[in-house]
Amino acid sequence: MNSYYIKKRFCSSIFIQQRAPILTSLLSRCLGNQSITMASEMNGAVETRNPPVTPWTISVASGNTLLRDPHHNKGLAFTQKERESHYLLGLLPPVVISQELQEKKMMYNLRQYQIPLQRYTAMMDLQERNQKLFYKLLIDHVEELLPVVYTPTVGEACQKYGSIFRRPQGLYISLNEKGKILEVLKNWPHKNIQVIVVTDGQRILGLGDLGCQGMGIPVGKLALYTALGGIKPSVCLPVTIDVGTNNQKLLDDEFYIGLKQKRATGDEYHALLEEFMVAVKQNYGEKVLVQFEDFANHNAFDLLAKYSKTHLVFNDDIQGTASVVLAGVIAALKLLSGSLSDHTFLFLGAGEAGTGIAELIALELSKQMQVTVEETRKKIWLVDSKGLIVDSRKESLQSFKLPWAHLHEPIRDLVDAVKEIKPTVLIGTSGVGGTFTKDVVEAMASFNKKPVILALSNPTSQSECTAEEAYTWSEGRAIFASGSPFDPYEYDGKTFYPGQSNNAYIFPGFGLGLVMSGAIRVHNDMLLAASEALAQQVTVENFENGLIYPPFKNIRKISANIAAKVAAKAYELGLASNLPRPENLVEYAESCMYSPVYPNYR
């Protein structure tokens, strides 16, 4: 490579982020293998084994490197001028096509796959190859592609992550990195991180402990942060903390990608998490948002309580889910008579999602009724794996269940609890499929004109009941929504449209609101504001179709509205640091959103 060539190439090409100085990189590139061969030859023998070589990094994307860089690659959409300026001539076939045609072709190809996991891997390959096209597809076809990159398919992807693993998509921090986490964070190519989604893989959807293979969840959630909430992909960081797994099947699997040991617990676990949280703040500052995702509940509640005092943290399973369900219930009031305080709630599942939702409903009720939360909790009942949570079980209950231990005789089965408590709203957060049986749904329909039935567990296999079951067993009277999507269902000549009650409605807009206002802490009032914003987006037409959530196809507008309400609350509470406050927060949110349209390269 002569100096004229190097100079010309640098002057006309696209600068990408770099760590190593340009000259070092170039020297490594120029000397690399060559110098090692010469050194070996000087010693009298040509090296026959593979000698060590220096991995070199480049500082400018052009030519083949540009085609391999997912952030800048446009594939066949590079114009002739760009091909000439950026050393692409001959590296692409002659045709130049638009991003729209690329999108059409990619959708056509995706639709040829009959197996959901094939669509998932095709989408992940696209994300690795051409990031802008990936997001353009996801934004323009959100209803079709959400089930591919998110629940339910992401669940299967995590189960098979070891087999389908191609290239790392996030940071893996295992017990091996103890004492070096700050160093590990510095290995990530992007420096200005604003949103981290982190899991330890112990409760992946309703599929249990998937260890290191839980990485599919932070990757999927952050893809939604960008597509649904407009957060720039380069400021998003997926992280998996690997402390081992108790899943014997994975430990025995030769393709498993994580540490092959039982989970670390207690001090060892908490020390690693503490090191991570300290390093995150040290490396990215006070305002980086850390979203905890799919931790087992015994850790999730502790981590949230501990780090909400010192960091900008948000637990999606506890708080995001609570906000989305409250929004659905508020919206459902338009289809039912009365106000929130006229309703009685029964949950199957008293973990993160169940108690998180229960607590936010109780908070909203207490604000509306101007009574204490202790008082409003009385309208909310929870059943766990041992039956109804009642005061006689107090001795053996985990602390997050204690506020729900009401005075009542023990009841073992859900159906008996339904008949006794007579809830108007039944919410499934058990992670166990098929638990809303025919008897349960019929009991709900026997004393409710329009029973609200929310089967929130993911993925589809774990849903407490299907849309078809909810509609047929309630004779078409249920107001139904589920965590994973179901197709519309025709019953008795009428088409029913099941809604999707999933925290994906909330966290992208919620996160955008925090980031754009420079919020330093999350506050419950922000969750209530997000619920209100989401409920307000349900249109008359949606209600006519029995929906209590707006369609996902409008999600960017919905997210902008949620972001605006959350940011407004942050300013009101004195928790926002980006001053002065923009006047029109919806417009400001929209202006902050990432666009997947290709830029023109000079």
Ligand X SMILES: NC(=O)C1=CN([C@@H]2O[C@H](COP(=O)(O)OP(=O)(O)OC[C@H]3O[C@@H](n4cnc5c(N)ncnc54)[C@H](OP(=O)(O)O)[C@@H]3O)[C@@H](O)[C@H]2O)C=CC1
Annotated binding-site members for a divalent metal cation: 293-294, 317
Provide, rounded to whole angstroms, the least separation between the CB of residue 505 and ligand X. 8
Shortest reach from residue 431's CB to ligand X, in Å? 3
Which does residue 364 bind out of ligand X, Mg ion, ligand CC(=O)C(=O)O, none, counting CB within 5 to 8 angstroms by kind?
none
Q: Which of residues 314-373 bind ligand CC(=O)C(=O)O (CB under 6 A)?
A: 316-317
> In Å, how far are 82, 265, 290, 399 from 307, measured between CA atoms?
48, 18, 10, 18
Q: Name the residue nearer to Mg ion (CB basis): 206 or 451.
A: 206
Q: Is residue 520 within 8 Å of 287, Cβ to Cβ?
A: yes
**Residue of 87, 135, 150, 161 marked catalytic:** 150
Six-digit token string for 531: 């619920």
**Out of Mg ion, ligand CC(=O)C(=O)O, ligand X, none, which partner does residue 244 contact, by CB within 5 to 8 A per kind?**
none
28-32: long-range contacts at Cβ-Cβ below 8 A with a sequence spacing of 24 or more? 28/54, 28/56, 29/1, 29/56, 29/58, 30/1, 32/56
Distant-in-sequence contacts of 245-248, Cβ < 8 A, 24+ apart: 245/201, 245/209, 245/210, 245/211, 245/212, 246/209, 247/208, 247/209, 247/210, 247/211
Helix (H, G, I), strand (E, B) or coil at 385: coil
Name which of residues 502 to 521 contact ligand CC(=O)C(=O)O (CB under 6 A).
502-503
Angle at 301 between CA 299 and CA 304, to 5 degrees: 100
Could you list the residues known to form a binding site, using ranges. 203, 293-294, 317, 458, 502
Q: Which is nearer to ligand CC(=O)C(=O)O, 328 or 483 (CB)?
A: 483
Q: Select from ligand X, ligand CC(=O)C(=O)O, Mg ion, none the partner in contact with residue 226, using the beta carbon and a kind-dependent cut-off of 5 to 8 Å.
A: none
How is the beta sheet containing 499-500 ordered, strand by strand?
Answer: 387-388, 380-384, 345-348, 425-428, 452-455, 479-482, 499-500
Question: Which CB, 428 or 483, lies closer to ligand CC(=O)C(=O)O?
Answer: 483
Binding-site annotation, residues for (S)-malate: 203, 458, 502
- Centre a 10 Å sphere on the Cβ of residue 112 and count the other Cβ atoms it contains: 9
Of the two residues 297 and 466, which places its CB atom closer to ligand X in the complex? Answer: 297
What is the 8-class DSSP label of residue 404?
A: G
Task: Give me 539's structure tokens.
Answer: 């249109």
* Site track 283-302 with ligand CC(=O)C(=O)O (rule: CB under 6 A), x = hit: -----------x--------
- Helix, strand, coil percentages for the chain (3-state, nearest 5): 50, 10, 40
- Token pair, residue 332, equals 């459902």
Backbone angles phi, psi at 165, to 5 degrees: -60, 125
351 binds, among Mg ion, ligand X, ligand CC(=O)C(=O)O, none (CB under 5 to 8 A by kind): ligand X
Question: Of all residues in this chain, which one has the CB nearest to ligand CC(=O)C(=O)O in the complex?
Answer: 458
| Minimum CB distance to Mg ion smaller for 216 or for 258 | 216
Nearest approach in angstroms of CB 157 to Mg ion is 14
Decide whether 200 or 352 has the Cβ nearer to ligand X.
352
Interface positions with ligand X (CB under 6 A): 203, 205-206, 297, 317, 321, 324, 348-354, 383-386, 429-432, 435, 456-458, 462, 483, 501-503
Using CB under 6 A as the binding rule, the residues of this chain from 478 to 507 that contact ligand CC(=O)C(=O)O are: 483, 502-503
Q: One of 221, 379, 401, 569 is an active-site residue; which one? A: 221
Site for ligand CC(=O)C(=O)O in 568-597 (CB under 6 A): none
- Is there a catalytic annotation at residue 160? no
The residue whose Cβ lies closest to ligand X is 351
In angstroms, give the least distance from the CB of 206 to ligand CC(=O)C(=O)O. 7
Q: Residue 309 catalytic?
A: no
Q: What is the per-residue binding string for ligand CC(=O)C(=O)O in 151-170, x denoting contact by CB under 6 A?
A: x-------------------
How far is the C-alpha of 441 from the C-alpha of 465, rounded, in Å?
Answer: 9
Determine the 3-state secondary structure of 455 from DSSP: strand
- Count of alpha carbons within 13 Å of 194, Cβ hemisphere only? 18
Structure tokens at 125: 């390959």
Could you tell me the smallest distance in angstroms from the CB atom of residue 562 to ligand CC(=O)C(=O)O? Answer: 16
Distance in Å, CB of 96 to ligand X, minimum: 42
Mapping DSSP to helix (H, G, I), strand (E, B) and coil, where does residue 199 land? strand
Whole-angstrom Cα distance, residue 398 to residue 402?
Answer: 7
What residues numbered 198-217 form the site for ligand CC(=O)C(=O)O, per CB under 6 A? 205
Residue 453 found at the interface with ligand CC(=O)C(=O)O (CB under 6 A): no
Query: Could you say which of ligand X, ligand CC(=O)C(=O)O, Mg ion, none residue 297 binds, taking C-beta under 5 to 8 angstroms by partner kind?
Result: ligand X
Least Å distance, CB 74 to ligand X, is 35
Q: Residue 179: what residue type?
A: G
Find which of Mg ion, ligand X, ligand CC(=O)C(=O)O, none residue 350 binds, CB within 5 to 8 Å per kind. ligand X
Q: CB under 5 to 8 A by kind: which of Mg ion, ligand X, ligand CC(=O)C(=O)O, none does 291 bind?
A: none
290: left (phi over 0), alpha (psi -120 to 50) or beta: beta
CB of 150 to ligand X, least distance (A): 10
Give the CA diameter of the chain. Answer: 92
Rg (CA), the chain: 26
**Site residues (vs Mg ion, CB under 5 A):** 293-294, 317
How near is the Cβ of 500 to ligand CC(=O)C(=O)O at its closest, in Å? 10
Q: Where are the beta strands (DSSP E) in 321-407?
A: 345-348, 380-384, 387-388
Quick one: 485 or 596, whose CB is closer to ligand CC(=O)C(=O)O? 485
CA 300, distance to chain mean position in Å, is 16
**Residue-by-residue DSSP string for 481-534:** EESS----EEETTEEE--EE--GGGTHHHHHHHHHHHT-SS--HHHHHHHHHHH
By residue count, the chain amounts to 602
State the burial class of residue 28 (Cβ atoms within 10 Å of its Cβ: 0-12, 13-18, 19+).
middle
Active site residues: 150, 221
Binding-site ranges for ligand CC(=O)C(=O)O (CB under 6 A):
151, 205, 294, 316-317, 458, 483, 502-503
